Structure 1
């Protein structure tokens, strides 16, 4: 069975590619800036680097970043996207280029929960899960992947295009939607969106 995370990329494969070039590897795509507990960064050559507390560890195309059961972390992309990782979260950093268009930053979320916010105007940013893809330009949202792959998207501000191989739904401010294997995402329902990000507030609290 083919993986279902190909959703939004399938329509333009002739003009789009995931970067594996040496130039992309050499240019940082962002930095890990804070970790409660420990953030583990696995480079493409298998070398691991770790962050504990405040710091500024460069992140590169192809890196895998992950937290354990007692860790959370914050990363900042160079183009103005902020991402927080909850406990037991793992994703791979990727990018996609389209002709005459800004680069698309991609998180391939294997497991766990992330909060993300774009800053300084619209950004091209996607989070892929085993069953769905969330594509954004200017928004704040929380996305959680359950053990069975079910993906729970909560939009705190803005609009997120939430897609599976069976269709794409626009999910708006203060609503929640579920992406499950073999189905279209659920109709957005009203929710207390701000409560969805309460887990990451400690990451934003200044150290005294």
Structure 2
């Protein structure tokens, strides 16, 4: 007769989380899995369309180019570039639609915190993005050389000049927009500017529909 202490442990499974490290115990052996590294190896989204071409530079320096419609997987640390006259459309995490205007350079990053949803980050060096979060709240941050924007469910346009000056236009929802000198909520139908060494400007109403015609045209292609 077999007692509890002598039963084989081949079916025993235990899971322990220590920081960002998952420890899975199978019987007497342990398998260590770095959850953060595993998350980084998973696709962050897909490049879906390019007018002209979209250049994708991987973490290891390998380059890939999308021309026209397609489904090129994107990963953390990928750098996306559109040359003058080129535009592109990507989808992050199945819910965040991002349109890249010409002359844009952006890196895909993320922040992983224990017991919290993964936060996707777009680090814009230059150029313009129109971002739309359509399927429920989805944490997203956009970083520029002088400012940052934090959102969950909204639609906005962010434009970065060569000197880092950043223009934020909110089409729908609320965006927490700020510089190193403070943050303020920017609401639907308003625009704010972020420059180096100053607070972002107070939001003001502006008819910027014509300025976003490029994104409307791209969405129809």
Same fold (TM > 0.5): yes
**Would you say 1:94 and 2:109 are equivalent positions?**
yes
2:209 partner SS: helix
Q: Is the 8 A contact 1:154 1:196 kept in 2?
A: no
Normalising by structure 1, we get a TM-score of: 0.87
Question: Which moved further from structure 2: 58-67 or 73-82?
Answer: 73-82
Which residue does 1:124 correspond to in 2?
139
Q: Is the 8 A contact 1:145 1:151 kept in 2?
A: yes
Q: Is the 8 A contact 2:36 2:112 kept in 1?
A: no
Alignment length (residue pairs): 190
> What is the alpha-carbon root mean square deviation over aligned residues?
1.8
Structure scoring higher RCO (CA < 8 A, sep ≥ 6) equals 1
Which residue does 1:202 correspond to in 2?
217
**Would you say 1:175 and 2:190 are equivalent positions?**
yes
Between the aligned partners of 2:35 and 2:143, the Cα distance in structure 1 is 18
Between the aligned partners of 1:145 and 1:92, the Cα distance in structure 2 is 14
Unaligned runs of 5+ in 2: 1-18, 21-33
**Would you say 1:50 and 2:50 are equivalent positions?**
no
Between the aligned partners of 1:38 and 1:111, the Cα distance in structure 2 is 17
Q: Is the 8 A contact 1:156 1:193 kept in 2?
A: no
* Bigger Rg, which one: 2
Normalising by structure 2, we get a TM-score of: 0.82
**Would you say 1:84 and 2:86 are equivalent positions?**
no
**Would you say 1:155 and 2:154 are equivalent positions?**
no
Between the aligned partners of 1:73 and 1:148, the Cα distance in structure 2 is 23
Between the aligned partners of 2:133 and 2:46, the Cα distance in structure 1 is 15
Q: Decide which of 85, 91, 103 is 1:70's aligned counterpart.
A: 85
Which residue does 2:31 correspond to in 1?
none
Q: Is the 8 A contact 1:82 1:116 kept in 2?
A: yes
Distance of aligned partners of 1:187 and 1:20 in 2 relative to their CA distance in 1, 3 Å threshold? farther
**Would you say 1:144 and 2:146 are equivalent positions?**
no
Between the aligned partners of 1:51 and 1:136, the Cα distance in structure 2 is 28
Distance of aligned partners of 1:102 and 1:195 in 2 relative to their CA distance in 1, 3 Å threshold? farther
Unaligned runs of 5+ in 1: 1-14
Task: Return structure 1 stretches of 4+ with deviation > 6 angstroms.
Answer: none
CA offsets 1:57-83 (integer angstroms, 9 cap, x no match) = 000011000100010000001241000
**Would you say 1:31 and 2:50 are equivalent positions?**
no
Deviation at 1:148, TM superposition (A): 1.3
